Amino acid sequence: MTGRETRLGLGANWQQFTLLVVVNAFVGAMVGLERTVVPLIAEQDFGLVSRAAILSFIGTFGLVKATANLFAGRFSDRVGRKRVLVAGWLAGVPVPFMVMWAPAWSWIVAANVLLGINQGLAWSTTVIMKIDLVGPRRRGLAMGLNESAGYVAVGAAALASGMIASRFGLRPEPFYLGIAFVALGLGLSVFFVRDTVDHVRVEAAQRDANRPTSSSGSNDSSRASRLTWREIFVRTSWKDRSLSSCSQAGLVNNLNDGLAWGLFPLFFASAGMSLDQIATLAAAYPLAWGILQLGTGALSDYWGRKPLIVAGMVLQGLALFAVARLSSFGGWLGASIVLGLGTAMVYPTLLAAVGDVAEPSWRASSIGVYRLWRDGGYAVGALAVGLIADAFGGKAAILAIAALTVASGFVVALRMPSDSWRARAA
């Protein structure tokens, strides 16, 4: 591909962008298969009682996915995006078969090791490639489209697997869908997706050309482009106020998503909800999250990142509080939709904010570090929620995570600087 052919922007790259949206939908559908059915398999097929033991599959998934995110970002900068994407899909091939045929709970945990690799490599890479393609002007819209596709697919797969399970049983029928998802995602990635490293070079050149030079005549980007991996990790984790604010908010966001994934089906089942009702409740949250991101991502391009992040974190906390206090299907359905709205305000906006601050030359690595912290929230959440639920009950666990989520929003309000991304995107 020549420099003349490589242009930034959604319009100029709509075909590849759309293809990556479809690929990411299949990535999301893989994890959606588990959100209704696997916690119930733990209780009904394997007789697990401890919430901490049941949530172990989410903790394993989160730890592995967080680490895979880190490697996805680093290796995307080193060997190219497409190779990492294909590797992620190859890791996902055994997952539906292992869950279908698992003779022991350890097989489910092992399957989630591979699922974590699949999600970390494949989802991270589709995020990075879309940011590469679209350039700085519509980054929020791009992330809204990406995350919308992924989480609408999570919700649809959660609903579909639950409905199939209610008619045919928890295994193996719901996981036949996973075989199709892997085949389609891998095939599209191998034969049709193109790498986006040329787009990175174009954006880096444009940013350097628009950057003022220092008094010595050197470009200020030369030092930034030579950051070591350790320096990128430190900046993203705590040194840079914007990046570190995003990292902690992402961790808490996925902590409460792990709560919804692992504990909600058990919490609703203990209240006497049918499998169809549990499937509907399990799907409502990611579906609302996914659909509403179509608007919230684009909105952050105009309103700014910080207001949406702060408001979204507080709204999630209030929705979790409502789940703990309510006791009816209708009330829980409404609270799940509000939880999805709060998450939609936060999820694409955090990714766009990281893309705003990080330099193109080390942006993939910074996104990998951010996603390490964000998806580490699954592991932290599985441990914390399981221990609190075993000691004090499911309601107490939900209330504790609700308070933590609101507190995270206040951390962003106090620590993150006012939006300065508009000047860089102009």
- Domain residues for the domain of 332 are 14-204+227-425
pLDDT in tens, 156-192: 999 999 999 999 999 999 999 999 999 999 999 999 9
> Per the domain annotation, does 216 fall within a domain?
no
In this structure, is residue 2 part of a structural domain? Answer: no
Residue 209: its pLDDT value, please? 67
CATH code of the domain in which 354 resides: 1.20.1250.20
208 pLDDT above the threshold of 90: no
Q: Is residue 3 part of a domain?
A: no
Please write the tens of the pLDDT for every residue from 302-315: 888 999 999 999 99
Q: What is the pTM of this model?
A: 0.80
In this predicted model, which residue has the larger pLDDT, 231 or 11? 231
Tens digit of pLDDT for each residue in 355-389? 888 887 788 789 889 988 998 998 898 889 999 99
Residue 69, pLDDT above cutoff 60: yes
The count of structural domains within the chain is 1
Per-residue three-class SS string for 279-305:
HHHHHHHHHHHHHHHHHHHHHHHHHCH
Integer CA distances (angstroms), 318 to 222, 286, 321, 325, in order: 45, 17, 5, 11
Let me know if residue 222 belongs to a domain. Answer: no
Residue 419: pLDDT band with limits 50, 70, 90: low
Helix (H) or strand (E) holding 393: none
Confirm whether 80 is domain-assigned.
Answer: yes
pLDDT-derived band of residue 80, with 50, 70 and 90 as boundaries? confident
* 217 in any annotated domain: no
Question: Is there a domain that residue 294 lies in?
Answer: yes
* The residue to which tokens 């902690």 are assigned: 248
Residue 278 lies in a domain: yes
SS (H, E, C) the chain: CCCCCCCCCCCCCHHHHHHHHHHHHHHHHHHHHHHHHHHHHHHHCCCCCCHHHHCHHHHHHHHHHHHHHHHHHHHHHHHCHHHHHHHHHHHHCCHHHHHHHCCCHHHHHHHHHHHHHHHHHHHHHHHHHHHHHHCCCCHHHHHHHHHHHHHHHHHHHHHHHHHHHHHHCCCCHHHHHHHHHHHHHHHHHHHCCCCCHHHHHHHHHHHHHHCCECCCCCECHHHHCCCCHHHHHHHHHHHCHHHHHHHHHHHHHHHHHHHHHHCHHHHHHHCCCCHHHHHHHHHHHHHHHHHHHHHHHHHHHHHCHHHHHHHHHHHHHHHHHHHHHCCCHHHHHHHHHHHHHHHHHHHHHHHHHHHHHCCCCCHHHHHHHHHHHHHHHHHHHHHHHHHHHHHHCHHHHHHHHHHHHHHHHHHHHHHCCCCCHHHHHC
